[in-house]
A and B are shown apart, each in its own frame.
Chain A
């Protein structure tokens, strides 16, 4: 009896302890964002006041208008969205096709080619940067929107990831379809593709995150302001208006917003998609 009470108390204490740790972690995770949002509505001198003021005295929404004055932000949004959407769509198509072939068709040289492809995964991406730049330059695409996404349309990682999903599908599906006279492309597109939707979601999310974030490539490949992406735009904003903290924080807010909204809408898919990448190893 006594022991049981003690144990119950113990549980309670542990539970409280767990909550404290988790909530502290959440605070550390979230408070920089809150500070960012608050700063973005302050005046410049308010932002640089010591001791700091928590809330802006007035909510200066005009800071955001100022950002749009300083940068063609609408245009930059557009570039980023276009480049991300194209990248995601292309990777889904190209990677799933090749993943199907690598996973479910036997053809000569398959394993060798697959291994060669995997080697790309091991190589740091900066390794490809210079020659990729020279290629884009040669085909005359510097400073254009296609330059932003061109090299990212193809992916070794995506192929590898989706192949895992294709492999795990049962052979019977394929055999039945083959008896009905379906060719591989039909099996792929009509039967198998719908079954690996979770894998496609995973890849879509990872790719979206990647292309949304990418900094070095857009920085190098596009030089004019109206061909920038959000990351490059932020870097520009910081370089050009190093002291206008409210505007810089506002820019950061604006660049975070779209993915945050998408995340809010597709929370479950995001989290499951990311989680899956670890399990399908």
Chain B
């Protein structure tokens, strides 16, 4: 009797307490999800004039070279940004975990880009990168390295942008990794020391395997954010730049289709594609994690 009363009350409170968040998510996320799917089958032009389009948006996508190029760019961003961010943040985290003096000062300094507005960071870097008046070219010039147009040379602009993303991401991920490393019990290291293991060996056989769960977390979040690179490109590359096609990510191309070219139906189809890709990669990652993540 009391049991069932309890169950009833559980039921009430359960639904009651999830209601606000779930209703909000329903309106602003679940409905948009299906709406977007629906929109991808329509032609939605300027001022929302809507026409049934069947699969034509998807067909168009197949022959749209700019779209494939932006997809390729996105993969390049991911392949550059994620590994560099991981390696550099792991390096800094490991170095900070040695008995350096002023660890907390270092931590704070490295963390500053992480609390800086992306738009501001992009603006500052754009200024540093400027081919004519930027300080980067000047400094490189002191070492005899010729000037470059960092952001308007289609061959290197993508790397310049990636560098900024990495620069922004290292401090943030380092903090998470450092916490992960510090969570490893000291007894492992003591045991290794007794066995005469050097620092590199300790890193290889203790730190690295035991930090994999954190590494996995960091990797997942950086992966998702690298796939959605938008702000930095938007702020650093002009819409009339020759480097636009070789730097724009799928999300930026989506944005331009939806809000600049007023092809909202097509934009929805692009979003669908991105969705499928991210789903696939997440699934793949989940599968692969069993091979390398150590939940000991």
Residues of A within 8 A of B (CB): 14-15, 18-19, 21-22, 25-26, 28-30, 32-33, 35-36, 39, 47-52, 93-95, 97-98, 100-102, 105-108, 110, 113, 116-117, 120, 122-132, 134-135, 150-151, 153-156, 159, 183-185, 188, 209, 212-213, 215-216, 220, 230-231, 234-235, 238, 245, 248-249, 251-252, 255-256, 259-260, 262-263, 267, 270-272, 274-279, 281
For A267, the chain B residues whose CB sits under 8 A away are 108
Within 159-184 of B, Cβ neighbours of A (below 8 Å) are at 167, 170-172, 175-180, 183
Q: Please, how many angstroms separate the alpha-carbon atoms of A32 and B251 in the complex?
A: 27
For A131, the chain B residues whose CB sits under 8 A away are 31-32, 35-36, 39
B117 touching A255, Cβ below 8 Å: yes
- What 5 additional pairs, Cβ within 8 angstroms, besides A255-B120, A278-B217? A25-B110, A29-B112, A95-B21, A107-B14, A130-B35
A230 touching B117, Cβ below 8 Å: yes
Cβ-neighbour of B115 out of A51, A135, A150, A270 (below 8 A): A270
Question: From residue A41, how far is it (CB to closest CB) to chain B in Å?
Answer: 14
Cβ-neighbour of A101 out of B13, B118, B279 (below 8 A): B13
B275 touching A120, Cβ below 8 Å: no
A interface SS class: helix
Render B30-53 as a binary contact track against A, CB cut-off 8 A, 1 for contact: 111101100100000000000000
B21 touching A155, Cβ below 8 Å: yes
B179 touching A215, Cβ below 8 Å: no
For B110, the chain A residues whose CB sits under 8 A away are 25-26, 29
A-B pairs with CB below 8 Å: how many?
284
Q: Please, how many angstroms separate the alpha-carbon atoms of A48 and B132 in the complex?
A: 9
Q: Please, how many angstroms separate the alpha-carbon atoms of A98 and B35 in the complex?
A: 25
B28 touching A256, Cβ below 8 Å: no
For B120, the chain A residues whose CB sits under 8 A away are 231, 234, 251-252, 255-256
A122 touching B28, Cβ below 8 Å: no
Q: Please, how many angstroms separate the alpha-carbon atoms of A238 and B169 in the complex?
A: 23
Cβ-neighbour of A185 out of B13, B98, B132, B167 (below 8 A): B13
A252 touching B123, Cβ below 8 Å: yes
Q: Which 10 A-B pairs have the closest CB atoms?
A: A154-B24, A107-B14, A275-B179, A131-B32, A278-B176, A184-B13, A101-B17, A252-B120, A98-B21, A131-B35
B209 at the interface (CB under 8 A from A): no
Stretch at the interface among B57-65, B149-157, B224-232: B224-232
Residues of B within 8 A of A (CB): 7, 9-11, 13-18, 20-22, 24-25, 27-33, 35-36, 39, 91-92, 95-96, 98, 100, 106-121, 123-128, 132-133, 135, 138, 167, 170-172, 175-180, 183, 199, 213-214, 216-218, 224, 227-228, 230-231, 234-235, 251, 254-255, 258-259, 264, 267-268, 271, 274-275, 278-279, 282
Cβ-neighbour of B17 out of A14, A21, A98 (below 8 A): A98
B117 touching A213, Cβ below 8 Å: yes
Known: A18-B95, A271-B175, A278-B217. A154 touches B28 (CB 8 A): yes
Q: Please, how many angstroms separate the alpha-carbon atoms of A143 and B67 in the complex?
A: 31
A126 touching B172, Cβ below 8 Å: no
A124 touching B278, Cβ below 8 Å: yes
